[in-house]
Amino acid sequence: MSTFDIIYTFFGGLGIFFYGMKSMSDALQAVAGDVIQRIINSLTSNRVFAILVGVFVTMIVQSSSITTVMVVGMVNAGLMNLIQALGIILGANIGTTITGWIISIKIGHYGLLLVALGTFPGLFAKNPKIKLIGKALFGVGMVFFGLETMSDSFRPLRDNPNFLHMLSYFSGENYFGYFFSILIGCMLTMVIQSSSAMLGITMALAGTGVIHYHTAAALVLGENVGTTITAILASIGGNINAKRAALGHAIFNLTGVLVLFSFFPRYLEFVDWFVPGDANFTDALGNRPYMSVHIASAHSFFNILTTLFFLPLLGQLCTLVKWIIKDKDNEKEKYHFVVLGDPQAILPSVAIAQAQQEITKMREIVGKMFLLTREYFSSDKKNVHILNKIQFYEKTTDTIQKEITVFISKVMQQQLTSFQSLQLQTIIKLADELESAADYLEKLTIYRNRLTTNELPDGESMSDLIKLARSTFDFFNLCTHKIKIMDIDNFEECENKSQELFNMAEHLRDGFLSHSRQMEIKPLVGMTISDMASAIRKIRGHSYNMAVSLHKLQLARDDDY
């Protein structure tokens, strides 16, 4: 086989491997997406639970890089605190070792059989779950077929003197060779941006006899360090806690590698003792049948042992990264939806959870606007500070609404379940309704500015207007108090209250217009108060629309479960 043949066969196999991993991951994510979302929403500060979440999610997505980037994004969005994030990252390092065990299964010759078994249900099945199972089988088959193709490309290198001479610089059984192998593994993983792919390449090289066991194990250690660069890159532009989570990941993996490096030969002996068969045993065909299991075991032991070591030290690790990346003293209040990475590469379940968090922020902002508007009305003078705050919040809701819409539009290009699609549509609807409610709250202050204090009506009529405004605020809370979990438990009460407020607003508006025609109040005053009542009625309408959207989502959720 010529050099060109080796190169294109290797890259072709690597491409097939990547595509298989992506297909398998997408299918598993679609099947388990709702479970992941519920886990995220129920996260606690329990570090053991956080580690288990990291293990489970990484087993589903088949990439610790995806999990750590996801965690950095959730910390940045406020979905979890730093100690939860570090716990999940520890678990992700264990979860990613499952990939090694999948790869170590010697069924490469049956890869095309799995592709065939997965293709037909994936293309022709009408049941969505069966289609996803077919896609997962197809992905697994492509992974094994890609590995087999890469292995075929490496076999001629066993007898290539130039390659073996180059390999001799870092294949020696000494600490210099180990260090150089770790460095190479780290650099290649940083370039490829996938520790799973590098693990597959390492197993293919070792399994065909191109490199020895100790070299492969050292490369795997380097891959554990190299994979941290993905989260560090993702944290650029994020908030302080996002940067701290990425740094914590790097410190954890780097410290684990340094500790293990100090007694690396003894560690390899321990793995050899634990796993049956000689790792470097070569069969009649020149293959090493026990090598992949040894590498997978070395990978798993490293991550499990370092996780157990750091588990009681999570608090200290959290303190360390806070000391390295200190808080900023001049942080101002700001609301901005920051998306880390490509929205189309974020897990749909995580994207939904992140968007839900932004909707919760929007609701809090509108709630603040209600209180400020009421304070503005009760003031005898035009309070410029309150007015500026209301206008700031209104512009903020505009920004978040636009960013959420763009973000979700990109997320919806992924493969979604029907319920996930409905969730995203509901979030867009909620963002629109909250932004519209904020618009009308700002308009109320504009209407208030038309009138001097002396022009405001006295007595029962003004009391009715204030009562309507307060009742509408209570109604807004009634409709949206469970918006954080996208649920509603009092829809019938919302329906009844909505009609009651509508009638109250219409009666009040008609009364002011009637007084204005009878010249009991100035026409401008009557029209202004009428506009206020109409704005409050509109806010009532937008609040009710949110209740309807949440109710529809609740019915769909009940049908699913």
Same domain, 138 and 272: yes
- The answer to whether 488 and 476 are in contact (CB under 8 A) is no
Q: Are residues 314 and 390 in the same domain?
A: no
pLDDT of residue 511: 65
Residue 436 pLDDT grade (very low, low, confident, very high; cuts 50, 70, 90): very high
Residue 165: how many CB atoms within 10 A of its CB?
9
Q: What is the per-residue pLDDT for 551?
A: 92
Same domain, 417 and 307: no
Please tell me the distance from the alpha carbon of residue 205 to that of residue 416, in angstroms, as a whole number: 37
Residue 368's pLDDT is what?
A: 92
Is the model more confident about 262 or about 160?
262
| Model pLDDT, residue 517 | 55
Q: Is residue 419 part of a domain?
A: yes
Q: Determine contact, residues 338/238, Cβ cutoff 8 Å.
A: yes
Read off the pLDDT of each residue in 427-443 and give the average, rounded to a whole number. Answer: 94
> Is 393 within 8 Å of 369 (Cβ atoms)?
yes
Instruction: Check whether residue 44 and residue 151 sit in a common domain.
Output: yes
Residue 201 within a domain: yes
- pLDDT reported for residue 273: 87
Residue 393 to residue 390: CA distance in whole angstroms: 5
Over the chain, what is the mean pLDDT?
79
- The stretch 175-199 carries a mean pLDDT of 81
User: What is the distance between the alpha carbons of residues 156 and 102, in angstroms, rounded to a whole number?
Assistant: 25
Could you tell me the pLDDT band of residue 333, with boundaries at 50, 70 and 90? very low
Amino acid 4: pLDDT? 76
Q: What is the mean pLDDT of residues 283-290?
A: 74
Would you call 534 exposed, middle or buried from its count of C-beta atoms within 10 A (0-12, 13-18, 19+)? middle
pLDDT in tens, 527-550: 777 788 888 889 999 999 999 999
Task: Mention every residue, 6+ apart, whose C-beta is less than 8 A from residue 305.
Answer: 256, 260
Q: Of 324, 356, 391, which one is at a domain's C-terminal end?
A: 324
When pLDDT is averaged across residues 516-530 and rounded to a whole number, the result is 64
Q: Tens digits of per-residue pLDDT, 45-101?
A: 677 788 888 888 777 766 676 677 677 767 766 667 788 888 888 888 888 888 778
Q: How confident is residue 160, by pLDDT bands cut at 50, 70 and 90? A: low
Which of 309, 324, 339 lies at the terminal end of a domain, its last residue?
324
DSSP string, 167-199: HTTT-SSSHHHHHHHHHHHHHHHHHHT-HHHHH
Domain holding 106, by residue range, is 3-324
pLDDT at residue 525 in the model:
67
Query: What is the per-residue DSSP string for 109-165?
Result: GGHHHHHHHHHHHHHH-SSHHHHHHHHHHHHHHHHHHHHHHHHHHHGGGGG-HHHHH
Q: In this structure, are 219 and 363 located in the same domain? A: no
Mean pLDDT of 424-453: 88
Q: Among the listed ranges 250-254, 321-325, 448-452, 542-546, which one has the minimum average pLDDT value?
A: 448-452
The answer to the question of residue 343 being in a domain is no
Give pLDDT, residue 147. Answer: 75
Mean pLDDT of the 262-286 span: 82
User: Does some domain include residue 339?
Assistant: no
Q: Write the pLDDT tens digit of every residue in 457-500.
A: 554 556 777 788 889 999 999 999 888 888 888 889 999 999 88
Pick from 290, 324, 358: which residue ends a domain?
Answer: 324
Q: Are 139 and 27 in contact (CB under 8 A)?
A: yes
The candidate with the shortest Cα–Cα distance to 77, out of 50, 44, 41, 52, is 41
> Does residue 91 belong to any structural domain of this protein?
yes
- Assess if residue 334 is contained within a domain: no
What pLDDT is attached to residue 177?
Answer: 79
| Cβ-contact 468, 531 below 8 angstroms | no
**Residue 80: burial class (beta carbons within 10 Å; 0-12, 13-18, 19+):** buried
Residue identified by tokens 């678990």 is 91
Note whether 376 and 305 are same-domain residues.
no
291 and 363 belong to one structural domain: no
CA distance 531 to 296: 70
Rounded to an integer, the average pLDDT of 239-250 is: 81
Asked if the structure places residue 301 within a domain, the reply is yes
The pTM of this model reads 0.67
Asked if 306 and 370 sit in the same domain, the reply is no
Rounded CA separation 334/288 (Å): 58
> How high is the pLDDT of residue 153?
77
Average the pLDDT over 117-138 and give the result.
Answer: 82
Task: State the Cα–Cα distance between residues 318 and 527, nearest whole angstrom.
Answer: 59
Mean pLDDT for 109-124 is: 80
Do 278 and 290 contact (CB within 8 A), yes or no?
yes
Q: What region does 332 belong to: left with phi over 0, alpha with psi -120 to 50, or beta?
A: beta
**pLDDT for 506 beyond 50:** yes
Check whether residue 264 and residue 387 sit in a common domain. no
Are 439 and 319 in a shared domain?
no
Write the DSSP string, 75-93: HHHTSS-HHHHHHHHHHHH
- Please tell me whether residues 283 and 367 are part of one structural domain: no
Specify the CATH number for the domain of residue 394: 1.20.58.220
Does 305 share its domain with 358?
A: no
Question: Which of 147-156, 184-193, 415-424 is least confident?
Answer: 147-156
Domain count, the chain: 2
Under the banding of pLDDT at 50, 70 and 90, the label for residue 332 is very low
Residue 342 included in any domain: no
- Which amino acid does the sequence have at 488? I
Q: Residues 155, 194: contact at Cβ < 8 Å?
A: no
pLDDT for position 170 = 59
Looking at per-residue confidence, does 226 or 99 come out higher? 226
**Cβ neighbours of residue 172 under 8 Å, at least 6 residues apart?**
none
Q: Taking residues 10-38, what's their average pLDDT?
A: 74
Closest CA to 440 of 469, 479, 406: 469
